[in-house]
Amino acid sequence: MDIESAITTALQFENRVVRVYEDAARNTLDPAGRRMFEILVKDERSHVNYLESKLGEWRSTGRVTPAKLSTLIPNRERIEEAVRKLRSRMATSKPEKELALLRRALEVEVDAGDFYRGVVRELPAEDRPLFQRFVEIEQGHQAIVQAEIDSVSGLGFWFDMREFDLEAG
Protein backbone atom coordinates (compact mmCIF):
# COMPACT_ATOMS: atom_id res chain seq x y z
CA MET A 1 0.00 0.00 0.00
CA ASP A 2 1.31 3.46 -0.79
CA ILE A 3 0.69 6.63 1.19
CA GLU A 4 -1.88 8.09 -1.22
CA SER A 5 -4.04 4.96 -1.24
CA ALA A 6 -3.69 4.72 2.56
CA ILE A 7 -4.95 8.28 2.96
CA THR A 8 -7.83 7.90 0.49
CA THR A 9 -8.91 4.63 2.11
CA ALA A 10 -8.63 6.22 5.55
CA LEU A 11 -10.91 9.02 4.35
CA GLN A 12 -13.49 6.42 3.31
CA PHE A 13 -13.34 4.82 6.76
CA GLU A 14 -13.56 8.15 8.58
CA ASN A 15 -16.50 9.38 6.48
CA ARG A 16 -18.31 6.09 7.11
CA VAL A 17 -17.78 6.49 10.85
CA VAL A 18 -19.06 10.09 10.71
CA ARG A 19 -22.27 8.90 9.01
CA VAL A 20 -22.81 6.15 11.60
CA TYR A 21 -22.38 8.62 14.48
CA GLU A 22 -24.60 11.25 12.86
CA ASP A 23 -27.31 8.63 12.44
CA ALA A 24 -26.88 7.48 16.04
CA ALA A 25 -27.05 11.06 17.36
CA ARG A 26 -30.30 11.61 15.43
CA ASN A 27 -31.86 8.36 16.57
CA THR A 28 -30.81 7.90 20.16
CA LEU A 29 -33.45 8.54 22.77
CA ASP A 30 -31.08 9.45 25.56
CA PRO A 31 -29.65 12.99 25.94
CA ALA A 32 -26.34 11.73 27.39
CA GLY A 33 -26.02 9.28 24.52
CA ARG A 34 -26.76 12.05 22.02
CA ARG A 35 -24.00 14.20 23.55
CA MET A 36 -21.55 11.32 23.31
CA PHE A 37 -22.40 10.68 19.65
CA GLU A 38 -22.20 14.40 18.84
CA ILE A 39 -18.74 14.60 20.41
CA LEU A 40 -17.67 11.56 18.41
CA VAL A 41 -19.04 13.15 15.20
CA LYS A 42 -16.97 16.26 15.89
CA ASP A 43 -13.87 14.17 16.60
CA GLU A 44 -14.28 12.07 13.45
CA ARG A 45 -14.85 15.16 11.31
CA SER A 46 -11.56 16.55 12.58
CA HIS A 47 -9.94 13.31 11.35
CA VAL A 48 -11.51 13.83 7.91
CA ASN A 49 -10.19 17.39 7.78
CA TYR A 50 -6.73 16.24 8.86
CA LEU A 51 -6.61 13.49 6.24
CA GLU A 52 -7.90 15.81 3.51
CA SER A 53 -5.13 18.28 4.30
CA LYS A 54 -2.53 15.49 4.23
CA LEU A 55 -3.85 14.22 0.91
CA GLY A 56 -3.62 17.74 -0.51
CA GLU A 57 -0.08 18.05 0.82
CA TRP A 58 0.87 14.73 -0.79
CA ARG A 59 -0.62 15.67 -4.14
CA SER A 60 1.02 19.08 -4.22
CA THR A 61 4.48 18.20 -2.83
CA GLY A 62 4.84 14.45 -3.07
CA ARG A 63 5.50 14.32 0.67
CA VAL A 64 3.46 14.19 3.85
CA THR A 65 4.61 15.60 7.16
CA PRO A 66 2.72 14.21 10.14
CA ALA A 67 1.22 16.93 12.29
CA LYS A 68 -0.23 16.62 15.77
CA LEU A 69 -3.63 14.95 15.63
CA SER A 70 -5.72 15.72 18.67
CA THR A 71 -8.88 14.08 19.94
CA LEU A 72 -11.79 15.10 22.12
CA ILE A 73 -11.95 11.63 23.67
CA PRO A 74 -9.80 10.70 26.65
CA ASN A 75 -7.39 7.82 26.22
CA ARG A 76 -8.50 4.26 26.91
CA GLU A 77 -7.00 4.15 30.41
CA ARG A 78 -8.83 7.32 31.49
CA ILE A 79 -12.09 5.98 30.10
CA GLU A 80 -11.71 2.71 32.00
CA GLU A 81 -10.84 4.60 35.19
CA ALA A 82 -13.90 6.82 34.80
CA VAL A 83 -16.10 3.77 34.26
CA ARG A 84 -14.88 2.34 37.56
CA LYS A 85 -15.60 5.60 39.36
CA LEU A 86 -18.94 6.24 37.73
CA ARG A 87 -21.55 7.33 40.29
CA SER A 88 -24.53 8.76 38.44
CA ARG A 89 -26.37 7.08 35.59
CA MET A 90 -29.27 8.04 33.37
CA ALA A 91 -32.09 5.63 32.51
CA THR A 92 -33.26 4.97 28.98
CA SER A 93 -36.68 3.58 28.17
CA LYS A 94 -35.63 1.49 25.15
CA PRO A 95 -32.20 -0.02 25.72
CA GLU A 96 -32.51 -2.35 22.71
CA LYS A 97 -32.58 0.62 20.30
CA GLU A 98 -29.61 2.23 22.05
CA LEU A 99 -27.72 -1.07 21.99
CA ALA A 100 -28.27 -1.44 18.24
CA LEU A 101 -26.86 2.05 17.65
CA LEU A 102 -23.91 1.37 19.92
CA ARG A 103 -23.13 -2.00 18.38
CA ARG A 104 -23.07 -0.42 14.94
CA ALA A 105 -20.75 2.31 16.26
CA LEU A 106 -18.43 -0.30 17.77
CA GLU A 107 -18.38 -2.24 14.51
CA VAL A 108 -17.19 0.75 12.48
CA GLU A 109 -14.63 1.69 15.13
CA VAL A 110 -13.22 -1.84 15.17
CA ASP A 111 -13.05 -1.82 11.36
CA ALA A 112 -11.27 1.53 11.38
CA GLY A 113 -8.85 0.40 14.08
CA ASP A 114 -8.05 -2.78 12.16
CA PHE A 115 -7.46 -0.74 9.03
CA TYR A 116 -5.08 1.67 10.77
CA ARG A 117 -3.11 -1.13 12.42
CA GLY A 118 -2.74 -2.76 8.99
CA VAL A 119 -1.61 0.50 7.42
CA VAL A 120 1.02 0.97 10.11
CA ARG A 121 2.31 -2.55 9.46
CA GLU A 122 2.33 -2.20 5.66
CA LEU A 123 3.63 1.31 5.01
CA PRO A 124 7.30 2.15 4.85
CA ALA A 125 8.67 3.29 8.21
CA GLU A 126 8.84 6.95 7.16
CA ASP A 127 5.07 7.03 6.45
CA ARG A 128 3.88 5.19 9.57
CA PRO A 129 3.79 8.15 11.99
CA LEU A 130 0.92 9.69 10.02
CA PHE A 131 -1.29 6.75 10.96
CA GLN A 132 0.08 5.62 14.34
CA ARG A 133 -1.90 8.30 16.21
CA PHE A 134 -5.08 7.08 14.51
CA VAL A 135 -4.47 3.63 16.04
CA GLU A 136 -4.38 5.19 19.51
CA ILE A 137 -7.43 7.38 18.89
CA GLU A 138 -9.48 4.48 17.56
CA GLN A 139 -8.65 2.48 20.69
CA GLY A 140 -10.10 5.34 22.75
CA HIS A 141 -13.21 5.50 20.58
CA GLN A 142 -13.69 1.74 20.90
CA ALA A 143 -13.27 1.94 24.66
CA ILE A 144 -15.88 4.67 25.08
CA VAL A 145 -18.40 2.92 22.85
CA GLN A 146 -17.76 -0.38 24.65
CA ALA A 147 -18.25 1.38 28.00
CA GLU A 148 -21.62 2.60 26.74
CA ILE A 149 -22.57 -0.90 25.57
CA ASP A 150 -21.55 -2.39 28.90
CA SER A 151 -23.50 0.25 30.73
CA VAL A 152 -26.67 -0.08 28.66
CA SER A 153 -26.66 -3.86 28.43
CA GLY A 154 -25.60 -4.49 31.99
CA LEU A 155 -27.87 -2.10 33.80
CA GLY A 156 -30.14 -0.41 31.25
CA PHE A 157 -28.46 2.93 31.93
CA TRP A 158 -26.32 5.31 29.93
CA PHE A 159 -22.72 6.01 30.81
CA ASP A 160 -22.61 9.69 31.79
CA MET A 161 -20.01 11.45 29.64
CA ARG A 162 -19.75 14.41 32.03
CA GLU A 163 -17.45 12.29 34.17
CA PHE A 164 -14.73 12.92 31.57
CA ASP A 165 -12.53 15.91 30.95
CA LEU A 166 -13.08 15.93 27.19
CA GLU A 167 -10.35 18.50 26.67
CA ALA A 168 -7.65 16.16 27.92
CA GLY A 169 -7.30 13.85 24.87
pLDDT tens digits for range 43-56: 899 999 999 999 99
Residue percentage of the chain with pLDDT more than 70: 77
pTM of the model: 0.77
Q: What confidence tens digit (pLDDT) does each residue in 105-145 have?
A: 999 999 999 999 999 999 999 999 989 989 988 988 888 88
Q: Where are the domains of the chain?
A: 3-163
Q: What is the CATH number of domain 3-163?
A: 1.20.1260.10
Q: How far is CA 37 from CA 64, 100, 160, in A?
A: 31, 14, 12
In contact, 20 and 104? CB cutoff 8 Å: yes
